[in-house]
Structure 1
Amino acid sequence: MINPGLSHYEVILDNQYFLRELVESITLSDTLDEIAYRAEIKLIVTSDFPGIAPGQELRVSGIPFGGANMVYLLHPGVIWECQSNNRGQKRLTATVYDKTIYISKSEDEYLFTPGHTATQRLKQYAADWDIPLAQLEDTGIPLAKSVYRAQSVYSMLQDDLKMTVEQEGDMYRPRMVPGSGLELFKLGSNETVWVLETTQNLEEVNQKRTLEGTVTQVKVIGNAAENQRSPVLSLVVGDVAKYGTLQKVHRDSSITDPGAAAKAGNHLLTGIQETFSVTSLDINTIRAGDKVRLNGIDLIVCSVRHELGNPGHMSLELGSSEYVRRRYYVKSL
């Protein structure tokens, strides 16, 4: 075995070729910015190495942290890219995504009538792109009419989920359940909340606080008549006294009264931006959107990178629920 630390993992090509003996490293990456789980697998190419090319199916299995039996970690996956080099010994790096990569990379147009939830719309996208579904939780918020012109299918789904949050709904993210199908996962709802502590399993913790991205004042404007300034429907003031005036202007043709404008403006106020970057021993089942407890504080995983091994290592970006809502679930101003 090239890397004995990967003895708890398996890489299988086209459901028939077991490649573990040829694997140098495996990394798994997940982020709230994207829908597809990503694997990067580095392999040694031998004389009996099977053909490998973009479009082939590949899965990654492993023994979960604290477990005893091997489970799917990424399945089904599709090989998206291959890169090789030869300096005496040929090596190949395969980039693999789960099947949701197709709705991230594909464009279409959709017209949705009022009253459907983000869950119902997701079922339509999945059916059209032949993405299997796991059991879907209903977001419970009926959405207004949406006309989506040519854009990525995933960007439409993102807008559906942002509109859900704007109407006081919960934060959800679509993600594949390995070996099952696509789910809508409510952020922070994982049953097992892993505890990360400086004195136990953490290698390094970095905290960042910045005013970059802070919004302390929002001017909500309406539609303007020709050659006239836009009417101000509401001026919402937040922590101006503390942080100074950092203003955004928000226009929404569906807002017509000051009450709705003030509500929309309040949703867009943001305080100081605080995140944590963590490196620790790997817990290989943690996904973006999970809740973890860092030194006694509950935080949401914004991104995670697993360097699989025994022991493996992982890198996490963490933020509060409020930070996640502001960063990922507020429409661009």
Structure 2
Amino acid sequence: MKIIVTGSLGHIGKPLTQELVQKGHDVTVISSNPEKQAEIEALGATAAIGSLEDTAFLTETFTGADAVYSMVPPNNYFNHDFDLIAYYIRLGNNYAQAIKDSGVKRLVNLSTIGAHLEKGSGILVGAHNVAKILDQLPEEVSITHMRPTSFYYNLYGYTDMIKNAGVIAANYGADDLIPWVSPIDIAAAVAEELTTPFTGRKIRYVGSEELTGNEVAKILGEAIGKPDLKWILISDEEALNGLTSIGMNPKIAAGLVEMYGALHTGLLSEDYFRNRPVMGKVKMTDFAKEFALAFKQN
């Protein structure tokens, strides 16, 4: 199969590309960074260097492909002029136009837990909007919306807090049961969707392990030599003040706080728990080894 992978060689893109190439597929990886070309080609894939903001480039790259993996890359949350939701909508429209104009009939879109919500999910409404845009494509375009849960690697964001305050403090966690996921497990699920015959529209959740915040703190604490590490619950206001105090875009900070608050109340994960997936292979204890290495190096 000829498959297009967006998102360059990120946390999901790299293991996804490796798996698809190993299985004999013709893979093209889109990256906006020309410096990534050699690394992409070293994996046995073709590099397409260009911008997701360029619909003509996307259309040209998608043309002739059997399947496309779409995702909205991270952006700068500290840019106070950046409109995150508008960015999601813009790329969603670009993908939809390129899929339509190129004639691609199979799309696997990276969405998120909570994407079923029209409001109350904070920044995740961006992914909700992308899914709505893509679902307006003609019926002959078969689509899987991947809904991963909370990424393990987001826990790196608490490194400085653990070092300086000796705790993980957030407006979610503690006793809350949180579904976590490894990008490696996401990549495996995406690869399966891209290469398995399917017609229609569907949603697929991806998770690796369900743990409370306290259980996560215990696993990470033991890995970094702080066995008494605790995860404490703070108010939305405290969480917001913490994000804005380090210079984050206030609107995005408010969106993150609302998102985590929805995880705390259960709103975010309600549909996930009704459609629980089979858990992936990578567990928190596996991630904790990587976390410990990074913790000790920084």
TM superposition score normalised by structure 2: 0.25
Q: Which has the higher contact order (CA 8 A, sep 6+)?
A: 2
Give the structure with the larger helix fraction.
Answer: 2
Give the structure with the larger strand fraction.
Answer: 1
- Structure index of larger Rg: 1
TM superposition score normalised by structure 1: 0.23
